[in-house]
Amino acid sequence: MSAIRLGVVHTRYLLLETVRVPIAIIGALVFPALSFLFFVVPQRVVAEDPVLATQAIIQLSVFAVLANGLFGYGLSISQARETPWDPYVRSLPVPASSRIMGQVLSTGTIGFLAVIPVIVIGVIATAATATPGGVVLGLVALALTSLPFAFIGISIGYGMPSKAAIAVVQVVMFGLAFAGGLFLPPALFPDWLDAISRLLPSRQAREVVIWAVQGGDVPVFELVGIILWTIALGVLALVLYRRDEGRRFR
Amino acid sequence: MMAPLARLDSVTRRYGEVVALDDATIDVGEAEILGLLGPNGAGKTTVMSLLRGLIRPTEGRVELFGLDPRDHTARTALGVTPQETALPATLRVGEVVDFVGAHYPDRVSTTELAERFGFGDLLRRQTGALSGGQRRRLSVALAFAGRPRLVLLDEPTTGLDVDGRRELWDAIRSQRGLGATVVVTSHYLEEIEALAERVVVMSEGRIVADDSLGAILGKVGERWAVLESPRADEIATLPQVVGARIDGDRLELSLDDSDAFVHALVASGIPFSSLQLRGATLEEAFLSIVNGASR
């Protein structure tokens, strides 16, 4: 019980710290919404087609969650490792579960906030449509498929110093976003790019969330793919975290 | 005898090939101020990190209130300080105190803590806007936010000016008066002399002395003498002399009995001038212990 109470306390202060540096929020909140406004809304062929417009909303929502996971975990962890505040907090009487809860909930909150403007603009400015059940399933799928991105962020955070992390996070983010069909729909991809794209967790997340919202055939290949990515990246994150424990206190 | 608040029992800690702590045993008792003294790399921070539960011993056992310090419940009555450069720059002073206070069942109110450590007028300020001295005071105050029974202070006044240091020492001593045991590390000998009742001297990962402040001072000879004489070598061989440094005509002597030394010096008929006697400083005690241990 008190672990949950402390988890809420940690969430609150992590959010407070994030909000005090507005640029961090602006990156997370504004970029997906602006991309939607500039790249989707003016393309009337897409915007006026209910199916394509809905998929565009989903693409940029996945992008919002991807960017937030990479920045939220990757940068905050690599920076935290460089200040002695982190070992100080570790020596307070707080269980590790409360700290993890704080990290996940605060990053998750920002991710959730980042999706809202995309959906709002989509509903107002395009012909996108979904059933209430589809929206709920879509949000659940979005939350679950955000795990591999969180693990990539955690791996980057523990794997490299913050200056390198900033660069790597951006390269990984744009690479996964473009090749994963989050900016341009994969229908426009040449075959060779589509083949690579289908192996990426970003593309797999896109297909799984679209399936959750719009129904249709179960995307077996993508579903299995993203589960494998989640396990592999989760193991990587754990290994890097463990390795870091010994190194930090030399 | 009461159970110690914290203890290291034959603890060795290695980092790869490097032995940071070598078979160290320390008991920390109720309501004392224990000074951990030693040069950089002596193992002081390793002792602190073990007591905070940040690292595991390679061999031996560490106990905090009878539990493993890596168990978070063991740390409920422990107070520690962040390095002052670590404070989250965007949080306000009051928010940092509230955040830390939220971890303890019986916390000191923010205003009360701020008043005791003299930062009551800074609560609305972001920590990034504080001066080095103000940050230092806030950091030390955080260790006392949860009414701890044991407080670990790692180099608490590094970088403070003389006034700031004395103010902080007063604040620490008054907290001690409220029943808290304090373990303080420092390489400022003056700081240990001002605060500690018991001193553990460390060198190269080993504990080379563990005694009351007075006894540690006594170990180098109670008194020091400075004098000039053309026959300095002969004076250095008098029986009361424990250690001597000869520089031409000038002599610096460490003595076990200064009265007997003066009698013997006068009786010997050796000419001398400018005799001064004084008590040993902790620095002298420390150097002689560390040098003795490494020999």
Query: How far off is chain B from A189, nearest CA to CA, in Å?
Result: 44
CA distances to B75, B92, B115, B138 from B123, rounded to whole Å, are: 26, 7, 10, 10
Please say if the pLDDT value at position A248 is more than 70: no
Residues on chain A touching B53 (C-beta within 8 angstroms):
90-91
Give bridge partners of residue B209 from the DSSP assignment: B201
Contact B104 A84 (CB under 8 A): no
Which domains, from first to last, does chain B contain?
6-217 (3.40.50.300), 221-279 (3.30.70)
Q: Is pLDDT at A250 greater than 70 in this prediction?
A: no
Q: Residues 31..70 of B with a Cβ closer than 8 Å to A: which? A: 49, 52-55
- Reading the block at residue B225, the tokens are 């003498």
Angle at B294 between CA A248 and CA B60, to 5 degrees: 45
Residue A136 confidence (pLDDT): 94
pTM of the predicted protein model = 0.78
Across the interface, whether the CB atoms of A91 and B15 are under 8 A apart is answered no
Cα–Cα distance between B280 and B222 in angstroms, integer? 6
Burial of B14 (0-12, 13-18, 19+ CB in 10 A): middle
Q: What is the pLDDT along chain B (295 residues), one digit of tens a residue?
A: 457 899 999 999 998 888 999 999 999 988 788 999 887 788 998 999 999 988 889 999 999 999 999 888 999 999 999 877 789 889 999 999 999 999 999 999 999 999 988 899 999 999 999 988 889 889 999 999 999 999 999 888 877 788 888 888 888 888 887 888 999 988 777 788 888 889 998 888 999 889 998 888 776 566 778 899 998 888 888 888 877 888 888 888 878 778 888 899 999 899 998 898 877 676 667 777 766 654 4
Residue B216 CB partners (closer than 8 Å, separation 6+): B199, B201, B209, B282, B285, B286, B289
Query: Distance between CA A151 and CA A239 in Å, rounded?
Result: 11
pLDDT at B222: 62
Q: Is B135 on the interface with A (CB under 8 A)?
A: no
User: What's the structural domain count of chain A?
Assistant: 1
Q: Tell if the CB–CB gap between B99 and A13 is shorter than 8 Å.
A: yes
Token pair 């170990």 is found at B219
* pLDDT for position B23: 93
Mean pLDDT for all residues in chain A: 89
Q: Which domain holds residue A140?
A: 2-248
pLDDT for res B292 = 61
- The SS3 assignment for B202 reads strand
Interface with B, mutate which of A81, A91, A242, A247 (most B CBs under 10 A):
A91
pLDDT tens-digit readout, B107-152? 999 999 999 888 999 999 999 999 888 898 899 999 999 999 999 9
Rounded Cα–Cα distance for residues B266 and B247 (Å): 21
CB within 8 Å: B91 and A6? no
Instruction: Tell me the C-alpha distance between B63 and B255, whole Å.
Output: 40
Torsion over CA of A17, A20, A24 and A26, rounded to 10 degrees? Answer: 140
What single string gives the DSSP state of each residue in A184-201?
S-GGGS-HHHHHHHTTSH
Residue B42's pLDDT is: 86
Query: What percentage of chain A has pLDDT greater than the value 70?
Result: 96
**How many C-beta atoms surround the C-beta of residue A50 within 10 A?**
14
* Separation of alpha carbons B284 and B222, rounded Å: 11
**pLDDT value, residue A246:** 42
Q: Give the separation between CA A186 and CA A196, rounded to whole angstroms.
A: 11
The candidate with the shortest Cα–Cα distance to A115, out of A171, A48, A59, A75, is A59
The answer to whether residue A20 scores a pLDDT higher than 60 is: yes
pLDDT digits (tens, 9 = 90+) for A23-60: 767 777 888 999 999 989 998 888 999 999 999 999 99
